[in-house]
Structure 1
């Protein structure tokens, strides 16, 4: 959907994204729960040491893991959702932890913090009040009564691995059972196909790579936006452009001579080639982390979901610039590319990417170590916080705050009464002295 985004009071409004995720999650849940594979899995005598389970828009598969009676490690392909914090016992700090759907970073203004607070707690409440009861109903239909509510089952998650890294998104005060493995998918470089190597060799100034993943195809990108992109490509004719363009529609009649399109491209291997100068992207987390790993500057146009969060991080950390879809015209595209193609900008990106790559242990080995740790320690209860099981009032110290406010109120009342008593006594003494003086 490429309609203009509704921004009340000029602020991003992303609550409708929750309802899309809710609908997708329930539909996926119905299909998965009624799959013959699930029935076979539950009947199998095989016992599992650990179950790796995605935690995203629905938790129905956690009920299956509960029936299999094995420790659960949650996987998140993006930043953790608002409803994940409580189940993992991990704190949420509003001023430095932007909600997934918003283009904020750990540097927010007062207005940003207000909007972040509203979105986080609104979406979290909607999930608790709408998604979880609907999930419980589906689980009840499939397995009958007797299972605990899903909001209790998910609290037994041993560990959560998330596709983030502080070099891109900033430090986060996660609990010990939330592990950042950003860049997990970035494996060893593989040789590029010969036709791509030939194209790179014919590009003395380098190439610019364009891919919006599965978000944008030629049959969905408005023609005005397409022509704006083509005009920018023509203006930057000192570079060749390599674009993933999966469509039956031919572009031979109107595409620029320096644009080369392919149905598929080996993105990670291409991005790390020294001839790649920039990456035009939608801000998907996998492509973003691959570009950061390879030190390639980005021009990002977010469309949906966590792409806004990723884009905000890219801009703040100096890995690239943002061109909103509403501003996606020839002027903004060309100007944005000129900025990130500047040698000083590109050099800063390459230096910053070293912080992403330099780790004591590669993310795949880190993930492996934690999986083995959970298995060897029977679910690793020692890294699970008791914050999972306390209610909202206790978790946020509302009872403690009310207690001390009550004490303060009593002290103020007592002080006020003492002042009143002393004032009354003083007035009586003054009246008595005045009466004696008049009598004399």
Structure 2
């Protein structure tokens, strides 16, 4: 009898605690302007838009007429379409094919340098093109008037292309980022202290444990990002700012003025590092429990029996690899007892086995969440890596470009994946696949990451929606931004203070020396006078 009141009290306490945890301050339906980036970046933005729409917010999306993925009509948002010339966007495809061809053969130092310069040039063209898109908006008085009259509460944008940042400044609206990358690389380098001694620069291929030579190289890679921003990327935005922003602007300064950074990463995936109060980590926010597969696909998966299924995709930008590579992959798949589902749009490989299903599209998250899925063969894009962590599926990674090697390196460092370069596929694909498939440590390590990722007090998606609404409720979040960005670099690093202290110490030492010499001189003269 004595324990009944205690149980009752505990039950009431748990109930009240759950109510408090789930309580979100009320926020009337807001009016949000979204300036997205196309491709896989849109996949993330679309998920966030849908989450905000379910909360009753009105969403308006600015899209180009040449967009690949952003539909003009949607139940979740209204759209503003900017008519553009599609021929201007074909430059990236040529670079992509050249890059994959070079990787297949194995790149020399000269070829690697050429590829890097080609990549920087392509990115510069991309930013230039997006700035032209922005000018289409700002040069149209009717469009500008319409945007102002819509009375938006904030701008939500992906700053990998920073035109949305400039537009928010022009409209004088609060700014929220759905971000991992900015114009000069990893966004955390612009927002938080980033010691190069243990924070690897994207593209370096290093972990947070660097020896002396790796730290030297890390500094070199960081210098390249600064030069890229200063001479290849920044000038495009500076030209727009000088025309439309009073007093001009520096794009990095505009990025640092953002109210909230919804950062698509977390420290289960990323290496620990300093951060800031207005950075909210929402890695894996697009993930949710797997849904049932379409009937035909489920029948194919179930046909694998106890052997299970391998899922392979190389992302939205790459439809096919060179013929010799795809034939080598297909021949390995044909030998194994597992079923294979392969997103592939190229010419059918001549070595394809009956156990392999080629598809133009796949429900990737639902396949990764299926209990029979054993291995994920992937390029290492951020979305795929985070989904693999969420569902606990080990990864055999084939990085192609951008951040993919660095993403896969984080999994490999934690024993949850293995990296295979494109030029190694013919010799090592079968061995690497068997290793990830049959060594229990890969699945165990990935399951551990999954458990850590899921063990959070608030789901990443709920955090993202909360902070967007927070900015609307308070008309910004300036109190979370540091003023350090407005300081000159020599003040930020206290070099002026150090110089002042050095000057003071030097003056004190010189004064002491002078006084000592003076006293010695006086003593010497007195002694000499006594002798006479």
Structure 2: state its 5+ residue gaps: 1-98
Superposed counterparts of 1:97-136, under 5 Å: 97-136=199-238
State the match for 2:162 in structure 1. 59
State the match for 1:177 in structure 2. 278
Q: Is the 8 A contact 1:217 1:246 kept in 2?
A: yes
Which of 333, 336, 361 lines up with 2:429 in the alignment? 333
CA distance in 1, matches of 2:113, 2:227: 21
Q: Which has the higher contact order (CA 8 A, sep 6+)?
A: 1
CA distance in 1, matches of 2:214, 2:113: 8
CA distance in 2, matches of 1:49, 1:241: 47
Superposed counterparts of 1:41-52, under 5 Å: 41-44=143-146, 45-52=149-156
Please list the CA deviations of residues 52-102 of structure 1 after superposition, one character each: whole Å capped at 9, or x if unmatched. Answer: 01111x4233232123221011221448955845764x2112123222223
**How far did residue 215 of structure 1 move?**
3.9
Which of 401, 419, 424 lines up with 1:322 in the alignment? 419
Task: Between 380-389 and 393-402, report the one with greater CA deviation.
Answer: 393-402
Q: Is the 8 A contact 2:415 2:441 kept in 1?
A: no
**How far did residue 7 of structure 1 move?**
4.2
1:167 pairs with 2:167: no
**How far did residue 148 of structure 1 move?**
3.0
**How far did residue 131 of structure 1 move?**
2.3
Q: Is the 8 A contact 2:159 2:181 kept in 1?
A: no
* CA spacing shift, 1:96–1:79, aligned 2, 3 Å: farther
Superposed counterparts of 1:297-308, under 5 Å: 297-308=394-405
Q: Is the 8 A contact 1:208 1:278 kept in 2?
A: yes
* TM-score (normalised: structure 1): 0.85
Q: Is the 8 A contact 2:159 2:177 kept in 1?
A: yes
Which of 22, 27, 33 lines up with 2:124 in the alignment? 22
State the match for 2:342 in structure 1. 243
Which secondary structure does the structure 2 equivalent of 1:67 belong to? Answer: helix
State the match for 1:225 in structure 2. 325
Q: Is the 8 A contact 1:62 1:150 kept in 2?
A: no
Q: Is the 8 A contact 1:48 1:70 kept in 2?
A: yes
Q: Is the 8 A contact 2:183 2:229 kept in 1?
A: no
Which secondary structure does the structure 2 equivalent of 1:169 belong to? Answer: coil
CA distance in 2, matches of 1:344, 1:110: 31
CA distance in 1, matches of 2:297, 2:425: 28
1:149 pairs with 2:249: yes
Which of 390, 398, 402 lines up with 1:293 in the alignment? 390
Task: Between 273-282 and 308-317, report the one with greater CA deviation.
Answer: 308-317
Q: Is the 8 A contact 1:78 1:162 kept in 2?
A: no
* Aligned-pair Cα RMSD in Å: 3.3
**How far did residue 227 of structure 1 move?**
2.8
CA distance in 2, matches of 1:261, 1:355: 34
* CA spacing shift, 1:358–1:37, aligned 2, 3 Å: farther
State the match for 2:462 in structure 1. 365
State the match for 2:452 in structure 1. 355
CA distance in 2, matches of 1:326, 1:416: 68
Please list the CA deviations of residues 107-146 of structure 1 after superposition, one character each: whole Å capped at 9, or x if unmatched. Answer: 22222222222222331243134422322224555x4x73
* CA spacing shift, 1:291–1:422, aligned 2, 3 Å: farther
CA distance in 1, matches of 2:398, 2:511: 61
Which secondary structure does the structure 1 equivalent of 2:269 belong to? Answer: helix
Which secondary structure does the structure 2 equivalent of 1:209 belong to? Answer: strand
* TM-score (normalised: structure 2): 0.71
* CA spacing shift, 1:68–1:424, aligned 2, 3 Å: same
Q: Is the 8 A contact 1:97 1:106 kept in 2?
A: yes
State the match for 1:255 in structure 2. 352
* CA spacing shift, 1:423–1:274, aligned 2, 3 Å: farther
Structure 1: state its 5+ residue gaps: none
Q: Is the 8 A contact 1:300 1:320 kept in 2?
A: yes
1:386 pairs with 2:483: yes
